């Protein structure tokens, strides 16, 4: 990973640095990214991925990929595949260290047995409601289950029979015997195993008992000799339990460290809610370009470099925070500005006839592919008597400071000639401008004039007879409120009430320069003065170009015009 910005230090790096210095774990650093395969990865996961793999990279360590697949009814193979594809696309490699918690089911079962033998776990036959009632509340201690003092042999037998499928779901659970009076609810005899007759995506029907997160996660980390187990803040209360298992079982002491998950303005990060958008058809799928998912962002035209840079810039801390979407967009623009090939595309075309330009003449003009990168070279763009320019680049009554085309004014056509507006025609029916007549200055070929006169405006354009038709999707934020969840809760409304009806606008009849015929998915393009675009990997087909706008360019004029109002 070259040219990567140096991430500023953070409390986790300090902990690791101190651990290495003190010789803990022999100076070894090993982390892991442990997704549950029950949905697609989103930008919040990207933060965690960059953190875990980044730490391993920077401290000469390793980072494992481990699927936390202990709940068969929510998990699916589709997600284990998408997750691997997304992590790889982000630029990280787990080599041969791909693990599944389900691969540890036998070992976990043995550890549970050992806990029973040590008198630290028991089979409880209370039902779910009873267990909840016995747990107590935040302010009242819990009560011990009447089954809490079953003997070791009975517990072992019951647990074996749970595994053997002798009981129905909910009949029994295995619980740790810790402290029903603990102020930390997680320590009030937490459930370790529950019975579920469900098809598991990997173990099929081999198992009908499944370990709970706390038990499986702690031990899995230890099995893999994870030195620093990094998770989000809501697991802080689970740490005593995480440590309890490893201590009681005398296992490798992985250390859990918690950091604040990412929140991003104008979107949501909850897997459950994202799933809801997909299921209800409010978006086209997990990879809808408006989704904050890795798949959605990839399809939108985000680069892995931009996302990694973003992850480095937002930092890692324990404070709840919501990062401004503007920072993400900035990271994308900064990356794409360096590498995106420039093209001209007219999204809302209006025809211009250059009345003094010879009919039937076509000349090829040289255009720079990327002013930020000489190596990108140049291309030839066809010019002719009739061209399209952007409708908003012409005003019958130009406002102050407007220096684009208007009756009598002169502008530069990028890479081409200076043109001056001599006439225009309205469409009676729509009241819109139908056609503009201009004259061009033959001396200004290439966009310069011998007399060095200044033209303030430069417009992009496309030759009518050479233009390619294209469809362009313009995206805006998925929600209208920076914090739609909080807003919905505050106003007792539905989250969906704050979906942005303008989050996706489809433009048809756009005119793009002929070179774009060679456009391919996965490439990044800049449409001059408009923004960064990419070919839609799903909708676009040869002869039917569909571009997605990844992010706009900064638009100073829009800002000025807004202020004038």
Partner RNA sequence: UGGGGCGUGGCCAAGCGGUAAGGCACCGGUUUUUGGAGCCGGUAUUCGGAGGUUCGAAUCCUCCCGCCCCAGCCA
Residues in region 477-496 near RNA by CB under 7 A: none
Q: Which listed residue (6, 320, 359, 428) binds RNA by CB under 7 A?
A: 320
Binding letters toward RNA, positions 535-564, x by CB under 7 A? ------------------xxxxx-xx----
The verdict on 90 binding RNA (CB under 7 A) reads no
- Options 148, 313, 339, 420; binder of RNA; rule CB under 7 A: 313
Binding segment (CB under 7 A) for RNA, from list 114-122, 133-141, 153-161, 294-302: 133-141
Q: Which is nearer to RNA, 28 or 148 (CB)?
A: 148
Q: Which residue has tokens 């009430």?
A: 497
CA-based nearest residue to 278, from 269, 270, 288: 288
> Taking a C-beta distance cutoff of 8 angstroms, is the pair 228, 257 a contact?
yes
Q: How far apart are CA 144 and CA 180, in angstroms?
A: 6
How would DSSP label each residue in 179-226?
Answer: -TT-SSGGGSS-EEEEE----BTTTBTS-SEEE-HHHHHHHHHHHTT-
DSSP letter, residue 333? H
Does residue 351 contact residue 384 with C-beta atoms inside 8 Å?
Answer: no
Contacts of RNA in 98-117 (CB under 7 A)? none
Length of the chain: 565
Burial of 77 (0-12, 13-18, 19+ CB in 10 A): exposed
Cα separation, 224 vs 98, in Å, equals 11
Applying CB under 7 A, among 9, 199, 355, 380 the residue interacting with RNA is: 9
Query: What are all long-range contacts of 323-328, with beta carbons under 8 Å and residues at least 24 apart?
Result: 323/262, 323/263, 323/264, 323/265, 324/265, 325/264, 325/265, 325/266, 325/267, 325/477, 328/43, 328/264
Pick between residue 88 and residue 132 the one whose CB is nearest to RNA.
Answer: 132
Over the range 497-525, which residues count as b (16 or more CB within 10 Å of their CB) and which as e?
ebbbeebbeeeeebbbbbbbeebeeeebb
Regarding 45 and contact with RNA (CB under 7 A), the answer is no
Q: Which is nearer to RNA, 263 or 537 (CB)?
A: 263
Q: Shortest gap between Cβ of 197 and RNA (angstroms)?
A: 11
Task: Note whether 27 binds RNA by CB under 7 A.
Answer: no
6 near RNA (CB under 7 A): no
Give least dist CB 428 to RNA, A.
28
Least Cβ distance, residue 206 to RNA (angstroms): 16
Given the complex with RNA, which of 142 and 288 has the nearer CB atom?
142
State in angstroms the smallest separation of the CB of 551 from RNA.
10
**In this structure, what token pair is assigned to residue 431?**
């009241």
Residue 132 near RNA by CB under 7 A = yes
- Judge whether 330 and 301 are in contact, CB under 8 Å: no
324 near RNA, rule: CB under 7 A? yes
Among the listed ranges 54-62, 70-78, 88-96, 111-119, the one in contact with RNA (CB under 7 A) is 70-78
Does 371 sit near RNA (CB under 7 A)?
yes
Q: Name the minimum Å distance from CB 469 to RNA.
A: 22
Tokens read off for 509: 């009849």
Q: State which of positions 216-255 bind RNA (CB under 7 A).
A: 216-217, 233-238
- Name the residue among 279, 261, 275, 277 with its Cα closest to residue 478: 277
Catalytic residues: 36, 261, 271
Least CB distance from residue 429 to RNA, whole Å? 28
Nearer to RNA, 84 or 191 (CB): 191
- The answer to whether 388 and 464 have CB atoms below 8 angstroms apart is yes
Beta bridge partners of 421: 438
The DSSP letter of residue 470 is E
- Number of residues counted as binding RNA (CB under 7 A): 90
Please name the residue that has the structure tokens 């225009």.
Answer: 424
Which residues within the stretch 152-211 sit at the binding site for RNA (CB under 7 A)? 169-170, 173, 183-186, 190-191, 194-196, 210
Q: Coil, strand or helix: which one is 423?
A: strand
When binding is defined by CB under 7 A, the residue of 56, 65, 87, 126 that contacts RNA is: 126
- When the beta carbons of 213 and 252 are compared against RNA, the nearer one is 213
- Residue 231 and residue 48: Cα distance in Å, rounded? 8
Residue closest to 436 by CA, chosen among 401, 470, 402, 409: 409
Q: Which is nearer to RNA, 322 or 439 (CB)?
A: 322
Indicate whether 364 belongs to the interface with RNA (CB under 7 A): no
498 binds RNA (CB under 7 A): no
526 binds RNA (CB under 7 A): yes
What is the closest distance, in whole angstroms, from the C-beta atom of residue 76 to RNA in the complex?
13
Closest distance of CB 284 from RNA, Å = 26
Residue 314 within binding range of RNA, rule CB under 7 A: yes
**Using CB under 7 A, which of 260, 468, 488, 507 touches RNA?**
260
CA distance 34 to 99: 9
Tell which one of 97, 330, 437, 466 touches RNA (CB under 7 A).
330
**Site residues (CB under 7 A) for RNA, limited to 403-432:** 403-404, 412, 414-415
453 near RNA, rule: CB under 7 A: no
């Amino acid at each position: 990973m070259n040219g990567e910005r140096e991430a500023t230090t953070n409390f986790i790096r300090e902990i690791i640095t101190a651990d290495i210095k003190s010789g803990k774990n022999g100076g070894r650093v090993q982390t892991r990214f442990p997704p549950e395969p029950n949905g697609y990865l989103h930008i919040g996961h990207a933060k965690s991925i960059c953190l875990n793999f980044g730490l391993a990279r920077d401290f000469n360590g390793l980072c494992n990929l481990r699927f936390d697949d202990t709940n068969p009814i929510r998990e699916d193979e589709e997600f284990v595949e998408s997750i691997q594809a997304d992590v790889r696309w982000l630029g990280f490699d787990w080599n041969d260290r791909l693990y599944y918690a389900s691969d540890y089911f036998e070992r976990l079962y043995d550890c549970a047995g050992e806990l029973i033998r040590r008198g630290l776990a028991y089979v409880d036959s209370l039902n779910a409601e009873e267990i909840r009632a016995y747990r107590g509340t935040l302010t009242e201690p819990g009560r011990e289950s009447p089954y809490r003092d079953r003997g070791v042999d009975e517990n072992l037998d019951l647990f074996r029979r749970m595994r053997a499928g002798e009981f129905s779901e909910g009949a029994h659970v295995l619980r740790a015997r810790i402290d029903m009076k603990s102020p930390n609810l997680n320590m009030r005899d937490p459930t370790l195993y529950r019975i579920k007759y469900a098809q598991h995506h990997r173990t099929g029907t081999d198992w009908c008992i499944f370990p709970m997160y706390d038990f499986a996660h702690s031990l899995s980390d230890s099995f893999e000799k994870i030195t620093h187990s990094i998770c989000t803040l809501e697991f802080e209360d689970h740490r005593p339990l995480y440590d309890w298992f490893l201590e009681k079982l005398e296992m490798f002491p992985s250390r859990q460290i918690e950091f604040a998950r990412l929140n991003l303005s104008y979107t949501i990060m909850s897997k459950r809610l994202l799933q809801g958008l997909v299921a209800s058809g409010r978006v086209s799928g997990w990879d809808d370009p408006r989704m904050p998912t890795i798949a959605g962002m990839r399809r939108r035209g985000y680069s892995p470099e931009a996302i990694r840079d973003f992850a480095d810039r937002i930092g890692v801390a324990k404070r709840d925070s919501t990062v401004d979407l503007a920072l993400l967009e900035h990271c994308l623009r900064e990356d794409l500005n360096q590498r995106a090939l420039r093209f001209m595309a007219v999204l809302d075309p209006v025809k211009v006839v250059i009345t003094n330009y010879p009919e039937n003449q076509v000349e090829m003009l040289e255009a720079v592919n990327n002013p930020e990168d000489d190596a990108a070279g140049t291309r030839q763009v066809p010019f002719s008597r009739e061209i399209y320019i952007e409708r908003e680049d012409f005003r019958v009554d130009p406002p102050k400071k407007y220096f684009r085309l208007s009756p009598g004014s002169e502008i530069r056509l990028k890479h081409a000639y200076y043109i001056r507006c001599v006439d225009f025609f309205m469409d009676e029916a729509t009241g819109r401008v139908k056609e503009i007549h201009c004259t061009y200055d033959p001396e200004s070929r290439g966009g310069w004039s011998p007399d060095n006169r200044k033209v303030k405006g430069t417009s992009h354009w496309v030759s009518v007879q050479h233009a390619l038709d294209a469809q362009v999707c313009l995206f805006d934020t998925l929600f209208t409120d920076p914090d739609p969840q909080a807003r919905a809760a505050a106003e007792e409304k539905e989250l969906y009430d704050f979906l942005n009806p303008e989050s996706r606008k489809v433009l048809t009849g756009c005119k793009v320069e002929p070179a774009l015929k060679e456009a391919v998915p996965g490439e990044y393009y800049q449409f001059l003065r408009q923004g960064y675009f990419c070919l839609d990997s799903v909708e676009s087909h040869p002869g039917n170009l569909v571009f997605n706008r990844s992010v706009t360019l900064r638009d100073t004029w829009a800002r000025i015009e807004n202020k004038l109002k």
